[in-house]
Amino acid sequence: MFRKEDIEQIEQRGSSVQTVEQQVERFKQGFPWMKIVAPATPERGIQVLDEAAVEAAAKYYDGAQMNGKCKFVPASGAASRMFKDLFSGLDALKAGKELADDAPAAKFVDKIQEFAFYTPELFGEQTCKCPEYRQSVLSKTLTDEGLGYGAKPKGVLKFHKYTDGEIRTAFAEHLVEAQNYMRNEDGTANLVVTISPEHQHLFEEAYAEVKEAYEAKYGVKYNITFTFQDKATDTVAVDVENKPFRTETDSLLFRPAGHGALIYNLNKLEEEVVSIKNIDNVANERLLPETATWKKVLLGKALELRDTLHGYLRELDALCTPIAGSRVTVAGVPGYDPVYEDLYASPEVQALCDDIEAFLDNVLCIKLPQADTCKERVEAIRAKLNRPVRVAGMVKNQGEPGGGPFIIADKDGSTSLQVLESVQINMSDDHARNALASATHFNPVDIVCCLHDYQGQSFDLLQYVDEDAGFISSKSYQGRELKALELPGLWNGAMSNWNTLFVEVPLATFNPVKVVLDLLRPAHQN
């Protein structure tokens, strides 16, 4: 399949021929549909907290012990999707066509003075609906004729303008958030921001502009790490016949493998507790008190779950430790340990297993298959308990794009809570389609993780990825159709084998900017 120069190209990227061959085979075989048991709802699968529970969870976070914490902000890529409608409008105007007044690009121009990046020097003091003015505003927003926003990352775009004249980028708002709910006892706040290498200078400039002012204003010391998606995680593209796609120079075409590749970045963190929030999900600082409260709630629930799981594991260790020197050979089978077997079958251990299985079922929607022996039961429970933890905020479904929470059947016969994207759901299956239709919530990517095991060691997160939970999408290259492979999403398949809890959070905590007109929503205005 590959020539000598192909192999050199693959190895120079840090990948291997075997990995690329597996990717090509995945294109041929596709990905299996997720087996949905039911949507996760407040009746089963999503915790809805009352005022007392909210206060208790936030308090638990304030008093919990942890081995380091940081905020993880996926911020790779340019904001081209955010300005897709504006590009279309600009192309139409250049072609001599007029825009309808209700077209997104026309609405943008009409409201230009309400955006934080507006200046009269660049856009003029008066607006009008004439094609020439509309084309000028769109061009000065998108191209190097003005702001050049069409080729810049969302993180460095000016999102908010305050009454005192301060203007903040999305990245700056994440800094303000971090000093609130992710501050360490020594006054530091750790942030890890995933970016593209070509954008690093833009982020460094944006950080330099506010660092001293924010550290003085909020009494915080920031520790910022910019990290890149590893080229070795890029996946090979194929043509419509599932043959490796070749460029005009006859070389293989590799593409970034989606946000699922960031599990490698997450896996390198030393901190135990990590808060994940997308770069565009920020709001005006007046909403920070509610945002911070609910982030502390998620943090508290994650640490509470961590402590419960770790407590169960320590209890199992204490009850299931064999007596030293008791190993014998029985019926010709070396290593049979009657004392050990008796420990597994003891009433104390089985009663503990009953309690754990009830907890897993009632809290995490994990139903375990029937074990054949007491030992198998204990080992299955131990394997389920000793996993990374994620607590994900869920908001009531308002028609926003995003994955949804479901209870699914796992390959080992158990069930679990998962975030699924629509492409993972078999719409030709009546049960799956009905489950999607009856879903009450969706995932705003507001996630808290605990990444250390009960013995204080970091989990190898790559061991908990469901490789069958990826995506195949249709793309193009210089007008030629191709297929692209995305790795299991960071909060989808990459976290499939974690212990997961869903908590309802207010819609007010979810304020994404997917298109530029979203900046006109109240959460982004004064």
In-domain check, residue 351:
no
In terms of domains, do 212 and 278 share one? Answer: yes
Per DSSP, the residues of 381-436 read: HHHHHSS-EEEEEEEE--S-SS-EEEEEE-TTS-EEEEEE-GGGS-TTSHHHHHHH
Summarised one tens digit per residue, pLDDT across range 376-417 is 999 999 999 999 999 999 999 876 656 799 999 999 999 999
Same structural domain for residues 100 and 211? no
Please check whether residue 339 lies inside any domain of the structure: no
Number of domains in the chain: 2
Write b or e for each residue in 90-111: b if 16 or more Cβ atoms lie within 10 A of its Cβ, otherwise e.
bebbeeeeebeeebbbbbbbee
Q: How many residues does this entry show for the chain? A: 526
From 129, 178, 170, 128, select the one nearest 149 (Cα to Cα): 170
Domain boundary among 151, 178, 202: 151
**Token pair belonging to 508:** 């007010």
* Span 78-103, average pLDDT: 93
Q: CA-to-CA distance for 461 and 490, rounded, in angstroms?
A: 11
pLDDT at res. 328: 44
The token pair at 224 is 């910022």
Is 419 part of a structural domain of the chain? yes
Pairing type for strands 404-409 and 167-169 reads unpaired
Nearest 5°: the CA angle 385, 406, 468 is 75
Q: Are 251 and 397 part of one and the same domain? A: yes
What residues contact 449, with CB distance under 8 A and at least 6 apart?
A: 266, 273, 274, 275, 276, 302, 388, 389, 390, 498
Q: What pLDDT, on a 0 to 100 scale, did the predictor assign at position 309? A: 98
Q: Residue 338's pLDDT band (boundaries 50, 70, 90)?
A: low
263: in domain: yes
CATH of the domain at 473: 3.90.550.10
Q: Say whether both 66 and 128 belong to one domain.
A: no
Which of 289, 291, 282, 287 is CA-nearest to residue 116? 282
Asked whether residue 320 is assigned to any structural domain, the reply reads no
- Same domain flag for 289 and 421: yes
Residues 406 and 483 in one domain: yes
Same domain, 94 and 38: no
pLDDT in tens, 18-53: 999 999 999 999 999 999 999 999 999 999 999 999
Cβ–Cβ < 8 Å for 371, 380:
yes
> Are 104 and 191 within one domain?
no
The answer to whether the CB of 41 falls within 8 A of the CB of 441 is yes
Per-residue pLDDT reduced to its tens digit, 346-375? 899 999 999 999 999 999 999 999 999 998
Same domain? 196 vs 120: no
Whether residues 443 and 389 share a domain: the answer is yes
Of 97, 125, 151, which one is at a domain's C-terminal end?
151
Rounded mean pLDDT, 280-305: 97
Q: Is residue 2 part of a domain?
A: no
Task: Note the pTM of the prediction, 2 decimals.
Answer: 0.92
| Exposure on the CB side of residue 248, measured as CA atoms within 13 A | 4
Residue 102 has pLDDT above 70, yes or no: yes
In a domain, 157, yes or no: yes
* pLDDT class of 341 with cuts at 50, 70, 90: low
Asked whether residue 291 is domain-assigned, the answer is yes
How far is the C-alpha of 381 from the C-alpha of 368, rounded, in Å? 8
Same domain flag for 131 and 279 = no
Query: Which pLDDT score is estimated for 380?
Result: 95
304 within 8 A of 389, measured Cβ to Cβ: no
- Predicted pLDDT at 230: 86
pLDDT digit string, tens, across residues 177-209: 999 999 999 999 999 999 999 999 999 999 999
219 shares a domain with 257: yes
Domain boundary pick from 151, 182, 206: 151
CB 492 within 8 A of CB 403: yes
Domain that includes residue 454, residue range: 16-79+153-309+385-524
DSSP 459-518: P-GGGG--TT--EEEEEEETTEEEEEEEPSPTTTGGGTTSEEEEEE--GGG----SSGGG
